[in-house]
Structure formats: structure tokens, C-alpha cells
């Protein structure tokens, strides 16, 4: 019985690692997304540092990715990393607080607007500590973010 639980735990860990490996974050100040795997294809969206994506496939030096809205785009592989997790605001406005809870005041980043992106520093219960591209930090309620 112990071996069975060890096996199940190993499978769970492998699946977790596998899902995380499909997460990508923009790691440059600005990046263009395209409707095909080449700079000759039309630009579909310009995004900024820490925008998260879910990798769907690859072709040459390009990744096909899915965004917060479920739309697919192509991005050049050197513009993204899988070394850390990122989050994007998925609602119109999200309060950014000085600590993990509504008892903490709003900080200078508040409110974060839809499509504002951040690097995830840590998750504490249902709150996420984030940092923006300028080095400012704060806490956002987890359900207001799309994290990959």
C-alpha cells in the first residue's frame, strides 16, 4: 500500500512539473505577438514584461501560446522564459495592497488594470505577492489574476 501512495505522489509531482513547464513569461520590456511563426506575419498584440502565456506548440524558433483570454498567438522564443511564474490581471480593476488581505491598505500600484502583468514572488493563501517591471511590489487577490 505504501508503494502505491509513493507511486501516486510521483505521478502527481511529474504532472505538476509538466504543467509548469508549459508556462512562459515575457522576459523583455516589450514583445510583439503574431498570427504566425515569422516576423512577416501580422502583429496581433504588443505585450510587456511579465505577461504570462501557456505554451501550446513550437515551430522553429517560435512558440504558439495561449493568452489570458484564450486566444492563440506566436512569439519568438528568445522573448520568453520558463524560469519563473507570472500573472496578469484578468478583471477590469484589481486593488493592490500592502499585505495579504483586505485589512491592508492599497498601495501606489492600485488599482492594477486588466492586462497589467507581474512576476509572482509568492502565494500566501488566496493572495499573491507580485512585482512589476519597475520593481514595485504589492499583494493581489488570487482570483483576480491569471497565473502561469
pLDDT tens-digit series, residues 87-128:
999 999 999 999 999 999 999 999 999 999 999 999 999 999
State how far the Cα of 48 lies from the Cα of 118, in Å rounded to an integer.
10
10 and 72 both lie in a single domain: yes
Which three cell numbers mark 133? 517591471
pLDDT of residue 97: 98
- Give the pLDDT band of residue 2 (cuts 50, 70, 90): low
76 and 28 both lie in a single domain: yes
Domain boundary among 81, 102, 120: 81
**Percent of the chain at pLDDT above 70?**
86
pLDDT of residue 79: 98
Q: How many domains does the chain have?
A: 2
What's CA 53's distance to the chain center, in Å?
Answer: 6
pLDDT of residue 21: 53
Which three cell numbers mark 16? 505538476
Nearest partner of 56 among 21, 93, 31, judged by Cα: 21
DSSP letter assigned to residue 144: G
67 and 100 both lie in a single domain: no
104 and 118 both lie in a single domain: yes
Domain boundary among 55, 81, 107: 81
The residue length of the chain stands at 148
Q: Which residue has the higher pLDDT, 134 or 8?
A: 134
Q: What share of the chain is helix, strand, coil (3-state, %, to 5)?
A: 20, 45, 40
pLDDT digits (tens, 9 = 90+) for 41-87: 999 999 999 999 999 999 999 999 999 999 999 999 999 999 999 99
Q: How far apart are the first and last CA of the chain?
A: 34
pLDDT of residue 134: 95
Contacts 24+ apart (CB under 8 A), 119-123: 119/25, 119/50, 119/84, 119/85, 119/86, 119/87, 120/84, 120/85, 120/86, 120/87, 120/147
pLDDT of residue 111: 97
pLDDT of residue 129: 98
pLDDT of residue 70: 97
pLDDT digits (tens, 9 = 90+) for 7-33: 443 444 334 434 445 999 999 999 999
Q: Do residues 58 and 64 make contact, with C-beta atoms less than 8 angstroms apart? A: yes
Which three cell numbers mark 90? 484578468
State how far the Cα of 107 lies from the Cα of 98, in Å rounded to an integer.
6
What CATH code is carried by the domain that includes residue 103? 2.30.30.40
Domain span at 72? 2-81
Amino acid at each position: 500500500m505504501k508503494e502505491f501512495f509513493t507511486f501516486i505522489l510521483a505521478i502527481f509531482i511529474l504532472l505538476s512539473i509538466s504543467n509548469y513547464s508549459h508556462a512562459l513569461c515575457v522576459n523583455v520590456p516589450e514583445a510583439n505577438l503574431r498570427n504566425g511563426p515569422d516576423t512577416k506575419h501580422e502583429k496581433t498584440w504588443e505585450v510587456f514584461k511579465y505577461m504570462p502565456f501557456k505554451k501550446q506548440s513550437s515551430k522553429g524558433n517560435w512558440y504558439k501560446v495561449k493568452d489570458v483570454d484564450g486566444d492563440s498567438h506566436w512569439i519568438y522564443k528568445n522573448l520568453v522564459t520558463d524560469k519563473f511564474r507570472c500573472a496578469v490581471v484578468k478583471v477590469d480593476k484589481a486593488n493592490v495592497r500592502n499585505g495579504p488581505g483586505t485589512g491592508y491598505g492599497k498601495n501606489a500600484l492600485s488599482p492594477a488594470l486588466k492586462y497589467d502583468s507581474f512576476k509572482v514572488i509568492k502565494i500566501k493563501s488566496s493572495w499573491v505577492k507580485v512585482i512589476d517591471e519597475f520593481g514595485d511590489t504589492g499583494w493581489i487577490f488570487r482570483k483576480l489574476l491569471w497565473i502561469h
